Amino acid sequence: MKPEDFEIMDDVDYDIAWCPGCGNFRIRKVLMQALAELDLKPQEVVMTSGIGQAAKMPQYLRVNFFNGLHGRSLPLALAIKAANPELTVIAESGDGCMYGEGGNHFVHTMLRNPNITVFAHNNMVYGLTKGQASPTSREDFETPVQTADRGGVTNTPFNPMALAISMGATFVARAFIGDEDKSKDLMKKAISHRGFALLDIFQPCVTYNKLNTFGWFKKNTYYLDESHDPSDKIAAFGKSLETEKLPLGVFYSDPGQPTFEEESTVYRDDKRPLFQRDVDFDRLGNLLQSKI
């Protein structure tokens, strides 16, 4: 497959609704490359998303998608995978959507380990609703709601890496889209991972986040190197707490865990997706008889 196979913008009569210079454009480009290099067919890929600027991503790709409600991309993704394990399912949304409104699904989907991939665009702000704090906003960040006279953001920033590690996610990684090659690499790893994969992607919002800019991310991140063992959960946790400079790369990975679909008896002897199956009326007849 070629990246162009995932290009839809030539065929539709709308343009991309992101601001010029937004990190989302790069994520789109890199994702198209990653999908192509993994040799996935658009028809096999389903993307789910919520609402927000990041959540518009599936609209700009030639794939199947269910662009649902704010915060609800993960229940959709889990169910789609469970109804048809042959599909490659990617949930993609913003930090507000995935970690704020969707926080409970985020936590509990990890505990189920479905074989799906999560791309969370972390711009540390609510873009689409015009610049309020998101759960990942840094302390003291000032917005129209978290006003300067009240000290800006006072909540402790939500730490998706630490949370994912503590909730048994089997692949936990972070990218910065300023580095396209490494980001592509991480996307491919995440999609290829068997089980729940989280890739948190630092994505500068050029309009509403004047604090965490391309330059800021560049300056305040570094890559984990070989000295970090991604099978060591406690070490991964330690890395997730670093704030001086934020680590990038694979924090934690444990590909050996059974997935949600595998643990359902539905696919034990019969691999067909649900839509190909019929009701067994003989068995139903027996069930009715058993109630006599």
Partner 1 sequence: MDEVSIVLAGAAGQGIETVADFMATVLKNAGYHVFATREFMSRIRGGTNSLQLRVSTETRAAYRRRTDIMIPLSETAIPHLEKHSRLSDDTLVIGEDELVGARAKKNPERTAVIRFTEIAKEVGGKIYSNTVAAGAILALFDVEDETVSEYLTGRFGSKGEKVVEQNKEAYHRGVEEGKRIRSDFFALDMKPDSKITGEMLISGTDSVAMGAIAGGCNFIASYPMSPSTGVLVFLSQQATEFGIVVDQAEDEISAMNKGLGAWYAGARAMVTTSGGGFALMSEGLSLAGITETPMVIHLAQRPGPATGLPTRTEQGDLLHVIRTAHGDFPRIVLTPGTLEDGFLLTQKAFNLADKYQVPVFVLTDQYFVDSSSNTPVFDLGGIEVERYIVRTETEYQRYRLTDSGISPRGIPGHGEGLVCVDSDEHDEDGHITEDLHVRVDMVQKRVMKKMRAIREDFIMPELVGPEDYSTLVVTWGSNYHVVREVLEKIDDSGISMLHFKQTYPLSEAVLEYLERADCVVSIENNATGQFTKILQDELGFTISSDDMLLKYNGLPFAVEEIEEFLSNYGR
Using the rule CB under 6 A, which residue among 62, 81, 121, 184 binds ligand TPP?
121
What is the spatial distance between Cα 36 and Cα 46, in angstroms, rounded to a whole number?
14
Q: Give yes or no for residue 123 binding ligand TPP (CB under 6 A).
A: yes
What is the spatial distance between Cα 104 and Cα 206, in angstroms, rounded to a whole number?
29
Taking alpha carbons only, the member of 23, 12, 223, 202 closest to residue 119 is 202
Find the residue with minimal CB distance to ligand TPP. Answer: 94
What is the spatial distance between Cα 195 and Cα 193, in angstroms, rounded to a whole number?
6
66's contact among ligand TPP, partner 1, ligand SF4, none, with CB below 5 to 8 A by partner kind, is partner 1
Q: Give yes or no for residue 79 binding its own copies (CB under 8 A).
A: no
What is the spatial distance between Cα 251 and Cα 240, in angstroms, rounded to a whole number?
8
Burial of 238 (0-12, 13-18, 19+ CB in 10 A): middle
The span of 93-101, 178-186, 194-202, 276-284 binding ligand TPP (CB under 6 A) equals: 93-101
Per-residue interface string for the shown chain with ligand TPP, residues 225-264, x marking contact by CB under 6 A: ----------------------------------------
Residues 183-202 that bind partner 1 (CB under 8 A): none
Q: Give yes or no for residue 127 binding ligand TPP (CB under 6 A).
A: yes
| Binding-residue total with Mg ion (CB under 5 A) | 5
The span of 38-46, 119-127, 229-237, 265-273 binding ligand TPP (CB under 6 A) equals: 119-127
Residues 2-31 that bind partner 1 (CB under 8 A): 12, 14-15, 17-20
Q: What's phi and psi for 193, nearest 5 deg?
A: -60, 135
Amino acid 270 reads: D
Tokens representing 57 are: 């991503």
95's contact among its own copies, Mg ion, ligand SF4, none, with CB below 5 to 8 A by partner kind, is Mg ion
The span of 101-109, 119-127, 145-153, 178-186 binding Mg ion (CB under 5 A) equals: 119-127
Q: Give yes or no for residue 200 binding ligand TPP (CB under 6 A).
A: no
Q: Give yes or no for residue 93 binding Mg ion (CB under 5 A).
A: no
Taking alpha carbons only, the member of 117, 157, 135, 125 closest to residue 242 is 157
Q: Give yes or no for residue 286 binding its own copies (CB under 8 A).
A: no
Using the rule CB under 8 A, which residue among 5, 37, 44, 263 binds its own copies?
263
Sequence-ordered alpha helix ranges (H) in the chain: 23-37, 73-83, 95, 103-112, 160-166, 180-192, 214-219, 233-241, 260-263, 281-289
What is the spatial distance between Cα 149 and Cα 129, in angstroms, rounded to a whole number?
21
Q: Taking a C-beta distance cutoff of 8 angstroms, is the pair 80, 268 a contact?
A: no
Can you give the binding site for its own copies, defined by CB under 8 A? Answer: 100, 103-104, 107-108, 110-113, 135, 149-151, 154-159, 162-163, 165-168, 233-234, 237-238, 240-241, 258, 260, 263-265
